[in-house]
Amino acid sequence: MTNCNILVVEDEDAIRAMLVMVLEQADFTPIAAADAQEAQKALNEALPDLILLDWMLPGISGVEWARRLKKEPMYRDIAIILLTARGEEEDKVRGLEIGADDYITKPFSPKELVARIRAVLRRTGKLQGASTIMIGDLVLDTEQHRLSIGDKPLEVSPTEFRLMQFFMTHPDKVYSRTQLLDQVWGRSVYIEERTIDVHIRRLRKILAEHSREELVQTVRGFGYRFSLID
């Protein structure tokens, strides 16, 4: 059992029923809603681990509701996968811009759907048994809050641990200082951007003790990237 609750918001009865069935078979616990109003009611009762959200809904559209949720501190951490009949690149970009975690174009296979849901849940640390993230010989244990290289533990502060957790769950992408602040410190906290540089420098120093300083890379004029590739 994964014990992950997934809120399914889809107005077409047949598709909603299919989604619920696929999720149950994959050991998820689905909660079904036919529109944003019903979904909001479900949210008021319990917070799901992920929302599978149809783009086109009667009344408030899926993308509009997702945009509203991502503005609410209480809901913004819930992962959202948008479902859509459209496949245009522009829609995908718009979906991801409002903060959706992934985007699936109909028609999709149950196997693809489950794989994408698992990937997002793993990334957001919601999937049981996913407490350990390994990249190369770097091991991050989110349950024990430990970072190590092979079996050698690294002495990192809680902030540096969160920074590494973010990097290791989002490898090979460049993040600006502002993006890192939002993701690691949260939008409500006021911290100067150069604070990040201080933490990055300390992280690199710790990694350098194990000759791994190249993992955290500076991208000139933009920000930082975590990658195994130089």
d(CA 81, CA 163): 24
Counting contacts by CB under 5 A, is residue 54 touching Ca ion?
yes
Counting contacts by CB under 5 A, is residue 11 touching Ca ion?
yes
As measured in angstroms, the least distance from the Cβ of 84 to Ca ion is: 9
Helix ranges, the chain (H): 13-25, 36-45, 62-69, 89-97, 110-123, 158-169, 177-180, 193-208
Answer for which of 56, 104, 119, 135 binds Ca ion (CB under 5 A) is: 56
Q: At what angle do helices 13-25 and 110-123 cross, to 10 degrees?
A: 60
Stretch that binds Ca ion, among 7-15, 124-132, 174-182, 202-210 (CB under 5 A): 7-15
Counting contacts by CB under 5 A, is residue 114 touching Ca ion?
no
Stretch that binds Ca ion, among 9-17, 150-158, 178-186, 197-205 (CB under 5 A): 9-17
CB closer to Ca ion, 83 vs 184: 83
d(CA 96, CA 99): 5
Counting contacts by CB under 5 A, is residue 35 touching Ca ion?
no
Of 116, 111, 139, 138, residue with least CA distance to 127: 116
Counting contacts by CB under 5 A, is residue 98 touching Ca ion?
no
Stretch that binds Ca ion, among 52-60, 97-105, 167-175, 177-185 (CB under 5 A): 52-60
As measured in angstroms, the least distance from the Cβ of 221 to Ca ion is: 42
d(CA 136, CA 129): 19
Q: Which residue is nearest to Ca ion (CB)?
A: 56
d(CA 65, CA 53): 9
Interface residues toward Ca ion, by CB under 5 A: 11, 54, 56
